[in-house]
Structures are given as structure tokens and as C-alpha cells.
A and B are shown apart, each in its own frame.
Chain A
Amino acid sequence: MTSVTMTVNGKKMSGEVEGRTLLVQFLREAQGLTGTHVGCDTSQCGACVVHVDGVAVKSCTMLAQEAAGAEVTTIEGMANPDGSLGVIQQAFQDHHGLQCGFCTPGMVMSAADLLKTNADPSETEIREYLEGNICRCTGYHNIVKSIQAAAATLRG
């Protein structure tokens, strides 16, 4: 067991981890941040996407120790300071971009990553970017619309 510390959603968090402990396990099990989900064991589905030092990462594919000292943002850190939904989250609600909600945290985190580098993505760019995020419920139509709407709002 090793002690690891990182900043998650602006708060310092520490815990004892084994060498094999994954970042997603640290977040879900040690810190109780259960918004980040696990949908597969082959790094394919994207339900586990978080941001580590500003970059979207599949937290099932990173060891907790590798994130030591990093700034981590999870879905729990995406709301506005007053607790209301952030722009991307709100766009998903407005455009029915989720059904069962299981893929949703990963979708929102991936969308946020995309919009950081591309303020006005085309439908094709959104679809290609989401290649690593599987949704079984929505058929993606409304996810694409949600991300386009969020992009428009963020562009102002």
C-alpha cells in the first residue's frame, strides 16, 4: 500500500492504494465519487472518462499512482458553483442527450474535452471524436445535438 494524493474537483484527496489500484477505483471506492462509471474492461466504452491535468483520460486505464499530484476533474465537478447544471450538462438535458444515464458522465467529460479544442465542431467531427464513448440508449442523435447546442452556447 502506498499513499497517494491528488486534487479532485478542487479538493485535495488522499488514500492508500495498491500498485494495481486504478484511478477509477480510487475515485469510486476510496473517495465515493460514484459518478464516474465502469462499463467495460477493455478501455472501449468511455463511461469512465475524467480529466487529468486538463486532458480527457479513461480512468479505467490509468493507475491511481500515475495521477499522484494531478488535478483531476470528474462529472461531480462539472456543475456551476451554485450547484446548477453547467453549460454542457444543461444542453444534454435540453436536448434529451441521455436515457439511462450510465454513459452520460463519460459523454459529458468527452464533450467538454472536444469543445476545449474545437469551439464549433461539425456533426462528423463530433461523431468521430466520440468513437471511444459507447451509448446503448440514445442512438447518438440527441448526443450530437446536445454537443452542438453546448458549443453554440459557449461560443456566446
Chain B
Amino acid sequence: MPKDHDGIGASTKRREDVRFLSGAGRYTDDINLRGQAYAYFLRSSVAHGNLTSIDTAEAEAMPGVVRIFTAKDFEGVGGLPCGWQVTDRFGQPMKEPGHPVLATGKVRHVGDPIAVVVAESLAEAKDAAEAIMVDIDELPAVIDMKAAVAGGAPLVHDDVENNLCYDWGFVEENREAVDAAIRGAHHVTTLELVNNRLVANPMEPRVAVGDYDRTTGEHTLYTTSQNPHVIRLLMGAFVLGIPEHKLRVVAPDVGGGFGTKIFHYAEEAFCTFAAKAVNRPVKWTCDRSEAFITDCHGRDHVTKIELALDAEGKFLALRTDTLANMGAYLSTFAPSVPTWLHGTLMAGNYTTPLVYVNVKAVFTNTVPVDAYRGAGRPEATFQLERVIDKAARELGIDPIELRRRNFIKPEQFPYQTPVAVVYDTGNYHATMDKLVEIADVAGFPARRAASEAKGKLRGLGIAHYIEACGIAPSQLVGQLGARAGLYESATVRVNATGSISVYTGSHSHGQGHETTFPQVVAEMLGIDATQVDIVHGDTSKIPMGMGTYGSRSIAVGGTAMVKATEKIIAKAKKIAAHLMEAAETDVELAGGQFSVKGTDKSIAWGDVCLAAYVPHNYPLESIEPGLEETAFYDPSNFTYPSGGYACEVEVDPDTGKVEILAFSAADDFGNVINPMIVSGQVHGGIAQGIGQALLEQAVYDENGQLLTGSYMDYAMPRADDVPMYAVDHSCVTPCTHNPLGVKGCGEAGAIGSPPAVVNAVVDALAARGVTHIDMPLTPARVWAAMNAAG
């Protein structure tokens, strides 16, 4: 419940809104440095080919051209690194072909950068790019994943046999037991499905501005990133060889990320490199059409899943085989998405004792594929919640009842799943009960009858998801192949007057950290939240941090901030004890006042802070002056948000058009800091999930041309495609291993909603014999399914 103060649990209005609503946000494209030149990338228009020659002579003579760069300027520069190494089921490392900053020898997807013109203006750079002569010997492209691994297909990388990056099995020791259980089961439900390829499409396109100071040797990169320190680490250490103290990365206001702004991109390295080479700032701003062929795409799995059940509907074993598209190169975290972020969630909310997951990751002549909102977990949830729905129909069991029969019970936590992870807490029966209530499941038959009376087919779809957030325990992910730690940092700097600046490694690009993080610190100290500001997004100000993705900010970044604040309180109590001439153990802090237990002695927060910086009367022999503390927090486990989602649709039998009439979500996020913001995160996630289910798909033709390369062809969800949402987060099982008891809420909506939507449409059409339709459920596909089956 919202409280009447602005601490934890209050729906405090967002302070960052004032600048965004006034047109005073400072996004990367709003940054213009004196003397800057503009970069324009000449990109491959073919999907696959040998680059035989590049002639820039004519272009170099064009007006305004400062310099033209090609791959030969990047000899001696490293390629874009991959941050995760997956080991295959035979114990071998994945195939990891190089990813040069500019295409070298070969182009491997439409959009692969070939040359860059740096000019006085963007228009001049574009004009000159047209005069560059490029010869490409076109090669046959490989686009379809099944064809890519079938043998005899063109090779994206000459040294990667069958275009296979890895063949991963999990849990490999369970393989035979799972096969046996499926062979002997009372019933097996099988489903083949596609998790459609998506483009994340944050509304702000990517931008990079590089700057170099010759007098100090310092590089600065302004970039649209979710994790500026990660960019500094990857680009400094692996690409350009710039030590951290000479490389500053700033991610100012960022207009949405959804995963696609995690990764280190060639344009960032280019602008940083070129600023030094031409000795002036270099700016690159991505067009939307360019974004479609350069931003990493998401999802793109083809899966066969089998669920074995006994006569009572108990899940006995689960087996799933997936082809996962990597695109033409391995992006920063790509290999981890279909493996560790996917396989470990295949137990779902259920007690299935045996699980085996096989994933083959495949190179194709398409844009690299990496994490997109949910990353691996939506793919796991979709197949699981679809196959359960299908099983329920086959066995004649109500789909809610079938899930309930197999839920892990509240008293079974902590729960060791057969897929490595241990769920610390949860209550799936409670979220399902809440969902049944808010979605008015009981009233559905009457609503269906009313729809039928007007000639419409009505369906109700249910899904219940689990996700792993709060990424991640460093030791664990290190064993699994991560080449980074996944802790977070915070510095809490208390000023002499008691105001506070918190420096956090988390990055806000829509999540509202500038509002929620101060709520936590204010609650701990009993002061007003307006006394606390956060600083984020600048490596020159903030201790090494890992940034924002995987719903990790409050669970990991927030905990680092809590730990630093606890250190502040401990030190401030020592100072207060000295000032009040009391024993430290007797000092209490409440409501912004330090007091001595059992006495009327007290001293205000601000007076203690002043004493720390004006230490006239101060225990200098035992503590240092000043009041500033840093904490790094490395989580001991993931957090496990879960929840039930319900979608109600009407299908027009004449056209196949699906209309979403109601959407409900009952989530358990653990404790919630700002309910208004949490609801907003769920709304946005649901809209993206509805987009995936009904509208969105990145489509390549067989030559590797992206047919959906702009908003004219790629159907983004618009205001009239989605309904109002009923969201609830009153079911709370606090996370047991972080002090705030928080789990994270950023991805849930995008995870729970696609299966709910598809289950609803299949429910509407079940009487006509439809058992599955692949996303997106366009009118044409729905109409075809309805008429083929019926």
C-alpha cells in the first residue's frame, strides 16, 4: 500500500519527469562538442560476400571529407569481444569466430560496416559514402537455421563447420533418464514452435560521440548504453587497448534499452578511435532504418518440446530441443541467452523431476542476436506454458487445475530444481488465486456466450511464469562461462549539511532510479527523500559497476546501496555516541534523529554530518573525519519473481483478427519500493509481449534482405493495439537473500504475456480444431489456421 511519506512503498512521483516533460532531457544525440565531425557508415547491402576491393579515392576528394576509414585502419586493433563462453555437451568450447570493427575480407550480413566517412557535416559524409567504390563477390547466403546446420550449407565463417557455434546439453547426465521417462509415460504432449525474431526498438536510436584530449591522452565516449563500465572494460581492454584511467564512458539520459543497449557495438569503438585519429570529436547518430540492420535482434528460436505426464496429470519429464540463431557474429552476451538464461528456467513453477534441454546455436547471415527483454526466460516460459496448455486440452483437465497440481508448494521452498538453480521462495498458488480473482475467470463462460451471440469467438489464456533475476552470483556465472563478475557498486556520499549523493553502478533508462533509489536511502535514515540524489552513467564518477539488465538494479544495485548506507549509519552512530557522550551500543537512529536509549538525549542527522566534516569535537583518535562509504555487493543467488497472467481475446471468424479485450497480471516481485513505477514496468512489458504475440517479426528473405526494416513493415504495438491492463503485486514472498526482500520487475511483463495471448487465441479456436499457431498471430495466420483445421 502506498504510504503517506516518500520512503519504501510510496508511489512517489518521478523527479526525472520534470526534465523529460520540459524537453530538457540530455540524451546522447543532444550532445554536440565544439569542432565535432560526423561519421557515416557505408554498410553492406548484401548478406554474404567476399570483399574484393574498396576504392575511396574519389570519395576522399569530395567536399567536407575529413577522412575515410576502412578495415586496414583497424589492423592491430582487436575485434569486438564476446563476454560469455559456453562449453558444449562434449566438453568443448563454443566456436568463437572474430568480429572485426569493420568488415575484413568478407561481409556477413546486410548492414555489416565496410567503410566510414568522417566529414564536416552528416550530409557531406553521406554524399561522399556514395562515391566509395566497393567490389563484393556475392556468395550464397544462409538464413534458415535448419538449413544452416543440415550439412552442405554455405558457411558464414569458413572455419565453423555446419555453422554450428555449439551443441549444448543440460543437464547432460539426465539425458537418458529423461528419454526413458518419456518412452514409458502414460501421456506425452509434443509441440513444435517458433519463438519469433524481434527487434528491441527502444525509441531512442543508438548514438556515439567520441572525444580525445591530446594534452592528457584521455578518451571520452558518450554513448547510449545500459552499462557504461562494461563498455569501458570491453572496448578499453579488448578492442582499443586504452587503460581505464584514460577512458571515460558516459551514458547520459538513455531513451530505453530493453537489452539491445547492453552490448558493445562497433560504432562505439569507431568513434572513440576516430576522435584520436582525426583529432576532433566524432559523432555518429543511427537512423531507424540503420538500427534495424545493426542493433542486435532478439529471440529467434525454433523448438520442439515434449512433456510426459502420468494419468493424474503429474509432470514426469520434459525434453526440449532448440535451434537458436546467433546471427553472423557473436554479440556480447549472445551465447548465454539460449543456454544459462533459458535452460535453467525449464522447471518453471513446477515439480517436474527430470528435465533435459538441448540447444544448438547457429550462425546465419543475419544481424547478431542477443538479449532482449527477458532474454532466454521468455523463450523458456513460452514453450513450457504452451505445452502445458496443450497437455491440459489433450487430457481434458482444466489448464489452471493442471498447473496447480504441479506447482511447487509454498512449504517446499527453498526448492532445488533439476536444472541447477535453487528457488529461495515463492507462492504460486497465491498468485494463481489472485489472477483468477482479478481476471474474473468465473465470469468467463458468460462472456464467451455473449461474444458467441454476436458471432465472435472468445478465448481465455492463462500462463504462469518464473524468471531468474538479480543477475548474478559471480562465482556461479564464472563457472558457467561468464567472462565478467556480476556484482554492483554504490558509493554513498553524505555532505556536511546532511544531503546525500549516491553513486550507483546501476543505470536508469526509463526505470526511474532517480526516484526509487533515494526512497530507500531516505527510509533507512529517516530523512526526506528530496535530501538524496543519485548519480549514474559516468565511469569517471562512479566505482566500477555492471549496469542495468536482467531486472538486477534494485536487487543487486539497490543492495549495494543499502550496504553502503549501513556503513554510513554505523559510522554516524559512533560520531553521535561521542557527541552525546553515550555508549555506541545505546545509540539509535529513527526519524532522522540519533538518540540514546532510555534517555531524552538526541541529536539531529544534520548535526552529526556537520561534525564529520568540521571535526572540532570528534573522536579523531578512533575514526576518520568525513562520511562517505562504498560497498560492492555480489549476490548469493538469483531472485525468482513469478506470477500468473491472463489474456482474454475475441477472434473475428471472418477475418482472423484478434482483439485483446482484457489482460490481467498477478505478480510476486517480493517487496516493492514504488508501486506506481512497478505497475508501469509491468504495463510496458505486457505491451512488448502482446507485440511479440500478435504483431512483431523480423523477416528476412532467402537472400538475407531484411524485409521488415522500418516502422512501415515492422509492426510496433500502437496505442490502439493494446487494452488497459489489470495488474496486481499484492502477493509478496520477500526474497530471502537480500536485505530489501526485492526480486525485480523489469522483464516479467514480457515473459508472462506471449503464452497468455497465444493460449487465449488457441482457446478461442480450439473448437475448430486449432492446437497451435506460431507468433505473430496475424489475421492471415489465424484465418489460415482456423480454416485449415476446421
Contacts and interface: CB of A to CB of B under 8 A. Distances in A.
Interface of A: 18, 20, 28-29, 33-42, 44-45, 47, 74-76, 78-79, 85, 89, 92-94, 96, 98-105, 108, 123-124, 126-128, 130-131, 133-144
19 contacts: A33-B23, A42-B288, A42-B711, A74-B23, A75-B21, A78-B23, A85-B18, A101-B16, A101-B253, A102-B204, A127-B718, A133-B719, A136-B688, A139-B685, A139-B686, A140-B718, A140-B719, A141-B724, A142-B683
Contact of A105 (B13, B17, B23, B716): B23
Given A37-B204, A136-B684, A139-B725, A99 B711 contact: no
Contact of A39 (B16, B205, B254): B205
A100 B255 contact: yes
A101 B205 CA distance: 13
B719 A143 contact: yes
Contact of B17 (A42, A101, A123, A144): A101
B27 interface: yes
A121 to B, nearest CB: 12
B234 to A, nearest CB: 24
- Chain A to chain B: the 4 pairs with minimum beta-carbon distance, closest first: A35-B23, A101-B20, A102-B255, A139-B687
B203 interface: yes
B274 to A, nearest CB: 21
Given A44-B712, A102-B256, A136 B202 contact: yes
B719 A96 contact: no
Nearest to B711: A44
Contacts of A131: 718-720
A99 B511 contact: yes
Contacts of A37: 27, 203-204, 255
Interface centre among A92, A100, A124 (most CB of B within 10 A): A100
Contacts, number: 176
Contact of A76 (B23, B511, B716): B23
B416 interface: no
A22 B274 CA distance: 28
Contacts of A138: 680, 683-684, 687
A130 B203 CA distance: 15
Contacts of B676: 96
Interface of B: 13-14, 16-27, 29-30, 32, 123, 201-205, 253-256, 258, 287-289, 509-512, 676-677, 679-681, 683-688, 710-712, 716-720, 722, 724-725, 749
A141 B21 contact: no
A117 to B, nearest CB: 17
Contacts of A143: 719
A99 B510 contact: yes
A127 to B, nearest CB: 4
A124 B720 CA distance: 7
Contacts of A42: 288-289, 710-712
Contacts of A98: 17, 20-21
Contact of A96 (B27, B677, B686, B718): B677
Contacts of A96: 13-14, 676-677, 679-680
Contacts of B14: 93, 96
A140 to B, nearest CB: 4
B2 to A, nearest CB: 13
Find the residue from B287, B509, B718 having the highest chain A CB count within 10 A: B718
Nearest to B202: A136
Contacts of A75: 21-23
Nearest to A143: B719
A147 to B, nearest CB: 10
A79 B712 CA distance: 33
A92 B30 CA distance: 23
Contacts of A39: 203-205, 288
Contacts of A33: 23
A95 to B, nearest CB: 9
Given A41-B289, A131-B720, A138-B680, A102 B22 contact: no
